[in-house]
Structure 1
Amino acid sequence: MKKLSIKLGLVFFLIIFGLEVSMFFFLHSALVDSRVEEELIALQARGNSHRDILEKNFDQMTLSHVALMESEANTDVVVTDKNKNVLDTSLPPQSVEKYIKESSTDIPREGIIVEEHWKDEAYIATVSPIQGQHAGYVYMFQNTDSIHALIDRLNKHFLITGLIAVALTIAIIIILSKGLVKPLNKMKAATAKISKGDFSVTLPKTGNDELGELSKSIQLLANDLNYLRKERSDFLASISHELRTPLTYIKGYADIVQNRNLTPGERRNYLNIITEETKRLSDLVTDLFDLAKIDNNSFVIHKEPIDLPDFIRRIEQKLTPAFQEKKMKLIVHCPTKLYVLADPARLEQILYNLLDNALKYSKSGTFTELTVHINDQDVHIIIKDTGKGIPAEDLPHLFNRFYRVEKSRTRASGGSGMGLAIVKELITAHGGTITLESDMGKGTQLDIRLEGALLNEDDLTRG
């Protein structure tokens, strides 16, 4: 019994069958007891009716008439005097003698039930007292064979109903089991394909229940794995390209310097190119190490209080010459006496990377603005340039590794495409977020939010 559908079907069947048997048992018992009670009530009422007639006309003719009436019915009557001597009867008195003798003499006006055990006795019986001048008793009897016949008919009806209910239950269970197991089998097939490296699976929508959520989760997993495989493929292609380009330059110019007779100026020029490409290769390897540390959760952020105005001023002093060389302006707005909790080396790396991008992708005569403002305990650092902007279709992918708006990958087109990916990871490691907005032809704005990084002088004193 390995199939889930069989297990579920069997469990459901046992549960529902048990419930049905219990319900049928109680219903059957209730119906039988109710039917027997109705028979006893009817029998008692018939005896009371005969009693009323005999109290008005107590003579042999009336007695014979009562006995004759009952001999033609499915009930019988025995009329006795107050000493329980039989006056008239519609059946042999010896067959019911024990019921008469064992009955009480203290009987209320409405009568009592003498025998109600229909399962074990031949008769059910009641007695009604005759009061007045001619005191006596009217005993009513009904053969239990008729009750047994009635119960047998009821049992047959219950049996047929039970078989129909069981058949319907089995049919419903089969339908429900298939409805439940069918999507599970599809999910099983999908996970088998995923385990073999085939992520092109499509699972149907099964609703908003737990199965639907599981289906969505498996579909999301397949999509994510497919995306990761594509990312890995793109990563390997990108890294091989990024490594091959500087290595090709280094090897080519090293061969030229080694094998050709060059003038001192040419040699110096080629060696400068080799030095630049070596630095580029070194920076690329450093970025890869940073990403590897981030992926392995071994990247550690060492936060400490930073005097942000002084920190921003030093960055401004370092980068201003580069902006001036390109005839651009770097404008800084930062409140005084502002302290934040962050890793100074990594925060500097973040700002350098973003300001360097603004420098690379803006034209001469434009400006870049760095603004710091406070929102509760959060510190916002906004970098806004007036460069050429970024196409809308590229915005969702800018923080992906090796993604570049410029696809040509020439030496003049910028970095390796890892800078913004590292920036985002560094900001996330600080517990912050970064958002980007850009309009083509108008420029780009990045908003770095460091959550809960704001410190006051009391915090510095306690530290």
Structure 2
Amino acid sequence: MNKLSIKIGTMFFLIIFGLEIFMFFFLHSAIVESRIEEELSALQARGNSHRAILEKHFDADTISHVTLMESEANTDVVITNESGKVLDSSDEVDRLKKYLKIPYANIPREGKIIEGNWRDEPLIATVSPVEQGGKATGFVYMFQDTKSVHNLIDRLNEHFLLAGLISVSLTIIIIISLSKALTKPLIIMKDATSQISKGNFEVTLPKRGNDELGDLSKSIKLLANDLKYLKKERNEFLASISHELRTPLTYIKGYTDIVLKRNLSIKERQKYLNIILEETNRLSILIKDLFDLAKIDKNTFVIEKEQINLYEFLLSIERKLSPAFLEKKMNLRISCPSNVIILADPSRLEQIILNLLDNSMKYSYADTETAINVSKDKLSVQISIKDNGKGIPNEDIPYIFNRFYRVDKARTRSLGGSGLGLAIVKELIDMHDGEIIVKSELGKGTEFAIIFKG
């Protein structure tokens, strides 16, 4: 290599090395903080799950079952009454007493982190209030040893050190192997692609002309943006599905252990088996929805369109769902001209309508009406599903079709939702080249308008 190549190589080595140190430090800090937040959120969610069960049955048996489940886990639970008296715990209470002395009036409904100092304290802890009739009747304290967190950080440090050594070695090897024929723009582009391969998609490339190098520069930037979006979507999806699967599996395992290990009466055994069955059904529905979304993403989801008489189609849906509406003391009304024909897949259209009607039943009150109205003009057919339910806050409307997004997060499990129904509805409508519009007002209801081309 000539002198210029050595200067360029040295300059790039120093720049890349500095950027790697900065990015590794930033990424390390972000991962550590993110992991700690995940641990605290998981601990809080576990406490809220126990709280949800205790609010239904705040008695000695249920309290004993909750503490029994935690005795098999790597977390501990302490349950107190409204005055702070310990009712039961999965571990010795003496080492946990200092965490139990907090102002109970300041605990919000979603719970509170009462100890998050994982660096200096032996435990992290959260508390969730048990409310009945709008008043706190007890508290669920969750604890987790910070040794596991410290072990995780130590392993992370080892991985980052190894990755840093590998990155520095690769940087040196690449610079040495550059020939004098390589130009500065190619060096920058090579560095950009290396950063992308390491997961850093915030790459910047110099603006070039309309020649081949300019096209290559634009292509690399486009690739970085696409990969960044895909990585974000993947991480959000994995975090959501992990949470969705963990909760029912925890219940199934916990109650199965109770049924197997304890001598229970027939009534108690039946109660726990019903819970296991309910959670199994929830998992089955979730997995089915995930398979549907996977098929849609792979473009293997088959849409077989045919002419459908909407009047007869909606009457069949009314016959199918009227008993469910009547059971909830609700009314389902259909208004559709008898001669409206659309081109759609019958099974997928039924899936769309049933998903929207199921949401209406879940989030509407007794003695209310859900109406399906069909209108037609020269260019389109509109199917409107309007209820008089709880409504959706304006700030949530842009996100309700996102996967795993929920509006009523506090009551999601009791209502049985997985956060995938509306995502599937949106995907199916898009595959029909249709459009869905949402109008909603809190306390007055929600209207979904599905528009198909005429």
With normalisation by structure 1, the TM-score equals: 0.52
Aligned with 2:392: secondary structure?
A: coil
Task: Give the number of aligned pairs.
Answer: 273
Taking the aligned partners of 1:235 and 1:373, their CA distance within structure 2 comes to 37
Would you say the 8 A contact 2:193–2:220 is kept in 1? Answer: yes
Taking the aligned partners of 2:207 and 2:190, their CA distance within structure 1 comes to 15
Change (3 A) 1:263 1:302: same
State the match for 1:356 in structure 2.
358
Change (3 A) 1:381 1:215: farther
Structure 2 counterparts to residues 366-381 of structure 1, below 5 A: 366-381=368-383
2:253 maps to amino acid: K
Is 2:234 the partner of 1:232? yes
Aligned with 2:396: secondary structure?
A: helix
Taking the aligned partners of 1:439 and 1:215, their CA distance within structure 2 comes to 48
Aligned with 1:370: secondary structure?
A: strand
2:316 maps to amino acid: R
State the match for 1:333 in structure 2.
335
Taking the aligned partners of 2:218 and 2:292, their CA distance within structure 1 comes to 34
> Can you list the C-alpha shifts for 1:145-172, whole angstroms capped at 9, x where unaligned?
xxxxxxxxxxxxxxxxxxxxxxxxxxxx
Would you say the 8 A contact 2:434–2:451 is kept in 1? Answer: yes
State the match for 1:254 in structure 2.
256
Taking the aligned partners of 2:211 and 2:333, their CA distance within structure 1 comes to 55
Taking the aligned partners of 2:435 and 2:376, their CA distance within structure 1 comes to 15
Tell me the CA shift for residue 336 of structure 1: 0.7
Show structure 1 runs of 5+ residues with no match: 4-180, 453-463
> Can you list the C-alpha shifts for 1:253-277, whole angstroms capped at 9, x where unaligned?
2222223222222222222222221
Change (3 A) 1:396 1:210: farther
Tell me the CA shift for residue 188 of structure 1: 6.6
State the match for 1:405 in structure 2.
407
State the match for 1:274 in structure 2.
276
1:419 maps to amino acid: G
1:272 maps to amino acid: N
1:297 maps to amino acid: N
Deviates more, 1:214-223 or 1:408-417: 214-223
Tell me the CA shift for residue 443 of structure 1: 2.2
Aligned with 1:272: secondary structure?
A: helix
- Which of these residues, 442, 445, 448, is aligned with residue 443 of structure 1? 445
Tell me the CA shift for residue 349 of structure 1: 0.8
Change (3 A) 1:348 1:281: same
Taking the aligned partners of 1:445 and 1:217, their CA distance within structure 2 comes to 43
- Which of these residues, 295, 304, 323, is aligned with residue 293 of structure 1? 295
Change (3 A) 1:268 1:381: same
Tell me the CA shift for residue 240 of structure 1: 1.4
Tell me the CA shift for residue 223 of structure 1: 4.3
Taking the aligned partners of 1:411 and 1:328, their CA distance within structure 2 comes to 22
Tell me the CA shift for residue 294 of structure 1: 0.9
Would you say the 8 A contact 1:406–1:413 is kept in 2? Answer: no
1:404 maps to amino acid: R
Runs of 4+ in 1 over 6 A off after TM superposition: 181-188, 203-218
Tell me the CA shift for residue 438 of structure 1: 2.2
Tell me the CA shift for residue 392 of structure 1: 2.4
Would you say the 8 A contact 2:282–2:416 is kept in 1? Answer: no
2:239 maps to amino acid: A
Taking the aligned partners of 1:418 and 1:222, their CA distance within structure 2 comes to 28
Show structure 2 runs of 5+ residues with no match: 6-182
State the match for 2:428 in structure 1.
426
Taking the aligned partners of 1:250 and 1:422, their CA distance within structure 2 comes to 27
Aligned with 2:307: secondary structure?
A: strand
Aligned with 2:329: secondary structure?
A: coil
Would you say the 8 A contact 1:389–1:439 is kept in 2? Answer: yes
Taking the aligned partners of 2:343 and 2:250, their CA distance within structure 1 comes to 43
1:395 maps to amino acid: I
State the match for 1:396 in structure 2.
398
1:316 maps to amino acid: E
Taking the aligned partners of 2:318 and 2:218, their CA distance within structure 1 comes to 49
Q: Looking at CA atoms only, which structure, 1 or 2, has the larger radius of gyration?
A: 1
Taking the aligned partners of 2:192 and 2:399, their CA distance within structure 1 comes to 28
State the match for 1:386 in structure 2.
388
> Can you list the C-alpha shifts for 1:282-305, whole angstroms capped at 9, x where unaligned?
111111111111111111012222
Change (3 A) 1:271 1:437: same
Change (3 A) 1:185 1:313: farther
Structure 2 counterparts to residues 129-148 of structure 1, below 5 A: none
Taking the aligned partners of 2:302 and 2:335, their CA distance within structure 1 comes to 30
> Can you list the C-alpha shifts for 1:46-105, whole angstroms capped at 9, x where unaligned?
xxxxxxxxxxxxxxxxxxxxxxxxxxxxxxxxxxxxxxxxxxxxxxxxxxxxxxxxxxxx
Tell me the CA shift for residue 414 of structure 1: 3.9
State the match for 1:323 in structure 2.
325
Tell me the CA shift for residue 350 of structure 1: 0.6
1:362 maps to amino acid: S
Tell me the CA shift for residue 347 of structure 1: 0.9
> Can you list the C-alpha shifts for 1:2-37, whole angstroms capped at 9, x where unaligned?
x9xxxxxxxxxxxxxxxxxxxxxxxxxxxxxxxxxx
Would you say the 8 A contact 2:406–2:412 is kept in 1? Answer: no
Is 2:346 the partner of 1:344? yes
Aligned with 1:341: secondary structure?
A: strand
2:319 maps to amino acid: Q
Change (3 A) 1:289 1:207: same
Taking the aligned partners of 1:211 and 1:442, their CA distance within structure 2 comes to 58
CA-atom RMSD in angstroms: 3.2
Deviates more, 1:203-212 or 1:295-304: 203-212
State the match for 1:47 in structure 2.
none
Taking the aligned partners of 2:384 and 2:311, their CA distance within structure 1 comes to 14
Tell me the CA shift for residue 189 of structure 1: 5.2
